[in-house]
Structure 1
Amino acid sequence: MISCRAIVPAELERVTAWIVSEPVGWIPADRYLAELAENMYRPEWTWIAEVGDRVVGRALWWGPRDSAYPVALDCLDVDPAVGERATVAAELIRAGLAGFPQPVQYAIKAAGGWRDDPATSAAVGWRRAAAHAAGLTREVERLQFEWVPADGVPAATGVLRFAEASDEEFLAVFARIAEGSLDAHTRASLAAKGVDATARGEMDFYLGAPGRREWWRLAYTGEGEVAGMAIPSATPYSVNVGYLGVIPEFRGRGYVDEVLAEITRIHAAGGASRITATTDVGNAPMAAAFRRAGYRNTEIRINLSNDLNS
């Protein structure tokens, strides 16, 4: 009989002793303990599956240090000796979800071309099946990119002018950029909530992110027309590209390269040793822009969530 439950603090060693042997991203003991000290992992968010007194699976949920509930499943693994790993993993996810009233996300991290490698494909496959079975059925595959100083800081060309602006001005541009977006999250939100709520939700997300509001810039043409915006931002781990876009009537002119370059310059000027970025696999133009700017694809993330109305 397999049972699933959250641990108590005295059981931390039972969790940290776990090693994932498959070729997918996972959380090692040192990182888990470091972020446990920061309140981003917690015993009550750390779930194990047991057979008798033997741990046969674990699910590590993560959240911001001041959050009442977790927002992401960071690491999921089940001992292959139990047989049907996806079934046990689904039970682990369901057990956690029962106590979480807000939508969550599970990102399976793998190397590019994971479908062509049998071991990686299998590792992704049973985890993906478990997530779907547990209700994390909204799926988007995303490309993770990275820039480091050796990749070069782009020079300003003067094609666009960048300036700070008010929240009201940014909100209006968020709404314009949402039109015709190739981003899966934005498209789903537009269908469910409409443009105004989508713009407000995206802006509120970045206002609440660890990045600084004073980094934000609107992009203007030489004639003074608003062409788009650049929002350098951050996660708890590094600065990132955050949000960028060009409004519909100015698309197709190469302005996305100028906007991305401005974000890179802002972070580089702040001494960034690493800038991360993500985009959907289906957003080929944005992926191409990252590559032109010297950003390198470091991994694939299969994002699964139960936020079906976002």
Structure 2
Amino acid sequence: MTDLVIRPLVAGEEHVFDSMPDPLPQLRQVAYADGIAGGGYRPENTWVALRTGRVVARAAWLLPPGAVGAPWLERFDLDAEPEVGAALLRAAHEALGGPGLYLAAMPAHWRRRPEVLAVMEAPMAAARLAGLVERGERLRCSWTGTPLPATSGRYAFRPAADPTEINALVARIAEPDVLTGVEIARAVGGVDLATDPLAWLSGSISEWRIALDDGVPVGLVGPAGDACYPLIAYLGLLDEAVRSELLVEAVRVLAAGGAREVIADVDAHRVGVLAELERTGFRQLRSRVVFAPATGTPPAPAAQPGPAVAAGHLD
């Protein structure tokens, strides 16, 4: 690799990053130039590897304005052997104070798509060579107006009374079904969306719904129509039988507020939850494999972000 140049960008070099063709143009993501303009991407947090003047690897770490955590690797493309990508990551890690999270995004059903595997095998291998290990996979799903299934009428739904009621129910739910943006909440603000969703979500609680079976709470859902896009931020159950109808209720709340698309994230191993989302009309948009340092999870920041960060960056 003697002919290889690895370096960060400097201001005004957005064209260098963009000179490498996008290997997955079908993947919905923020353009690099837009990220620079918005302040989430920064030249000093963007690294490239050049071979005879051509960009063969690029990596961009992201940190939204106002966030207090460490940047995470959001874009990592490699048109060379994995060792080149690993060398780039090691150099950047040294400059950035150590390895952190890598959120490897790819189109849905990537394992069954040879053309996607051909793109992603090298950067994922490079991440492993650089000391990162897989910590799980998250699936993003989207509802775009499909007619909702009929409900049984067994359950009643009402708005949450106040934050105290929401927090009390959250404390009783060991593993929520849907947590949209959980990895970003943790990386940006050190917030665990599963146990303290209101610390991250800055909007009104008027959209939150409680499911009741004969007057007894059996589930809780937090639709968020005023986030960066309409989404189901939190869905947790005390009775799994209510899952399908609580999903329908959440979509109805958001659609009534004008949403034409609703986003929901689920852990890939939660096959029952994924199946219920699909029955409700959701379709997979993307997968995100989470890589973290082999020595442990990066330290959480000491403080939480303000509402502007929480409301605008749930991706």
Matched-pair contact (CA < 8 Å) for 1:220–1:226: yes
- Could you tell me which of 194, 200, 214 is aligned with 1:202? 194
Query: Does the CA-based 8 Å contact 1:138-1:308 persist in structure 2?
Result: no
* Identical positions, percent: 29
Match of 1:50 in 2: 50
Question: SS in structure 2 opposite 1:219?
Answer: strand
Deviation, 1:155, is 6.9
Question: Would you say 1:239 and 2:241 are equivalent positions?
Answer: no
Per the alignment, residue 4 of structure 1 pairs with 6
Counterpart residue number, 1:269? 256
Map of 2:308 onto structure 1:
none
Q: Deviations over 1:102-138 (max 9, x none)?
A: 95231231341x3344332232222221222223313
Is the contact made by 1:71 and 1:103 (CA closer than 8 Å) also made in structure 2?
yes
| Amino acid of the structure 2 residue aligned with 1:217 | R
Q: How does 1:221-232 map to 2 (within 5 A)?
A: 221-222=213-214, 224-232=215-223
Task: Say yes or no: does 1:295 pair with 2:282.
Answer: yes
Alignment of 1:136-151 (within 5 A): 136-149=132-145, 151=146
Distance 2:41 2:211 in 1: 39
- Match of 2:169, SS state, is helix
Q: Is the 8 A contact 1:70 1:100 kept in 2?
A: no
- Taking structure 1 as the reference length, the TM-score comes to 0.77
Alignment CA distance shift 1:216-1:14 (3 Å)? same
Q: CA deviation at 1:220?
A: 2.4
Deviates more, 1:8-17 or 1:230-239: 230-239
Q: Per the alignment, do residues 108 and 68 of structure 1 end up closer, same or farther by CA in structure 2, a change over 3 Å counting?
A: same
User: Which AA in structure 1 matches 2:173?
Assistant: I
Aligned length: 284
1:189 is aligned to: none
Residue of structure 1 equivalent to 2:183: none
Alpha-carbon spacing, 1:213–1:89, altered in 2? closer, same or farther (3 Å):
farther
- 1:152 alignment partner in structure 2: 147
CA offsets, 1:188-216, max 9 Å, x none?
xxxxxxxxxx9965344553246544322
SS at match of 2:39: coil
The CA deviation at 1:52 is 6.0
> Structure 1: which 5+ runs fail to align?
186-197
| Structure 2 residue corresponding to 1:284, chosen from 264, 268, 271 | 271
8 Å Cα contact 1:183-1:279 kept in structure 2 = yes
Can you list the C-alpha shifts for 1:55-98, whole angstroms capped at 9, x where unaligned? Answer: 33111222223225554322211233xxx2x1222233333334
* One-letter identity of the residue aligned with 1:207: A
- Letter of the 2:106 counterpart: K
User: How far off is 1:294 after superposition?
Assistant: 0.9
2:102 to 95, 102, 105: 105
What residue is the counterpart of 1:126 in the other structure? 122
Larger fraction in helix = 1
User: What is the TM-score with the length of structure 2 in the denominator?
Assistant: 0.76
Report the Cα distance in structure 1 between the residues aligned to 2:263 and 2:217, rounded to whole angstroms.
26
1:115 to 102, 111, 114: 111
Aligned pair 1:67/2:67, yes or no? yes
RMSD of the TM alignment (CA)? 3.4
Offset at residue 152 of structure 1 (A):
2.6
Deviation at 1:290, TM superposition (A): 0.5
For structure 2, the 5+ residue unaligned runs are 181-189, 301-315
Distance of 2:247 and 2:229 partners within structure 1: 17
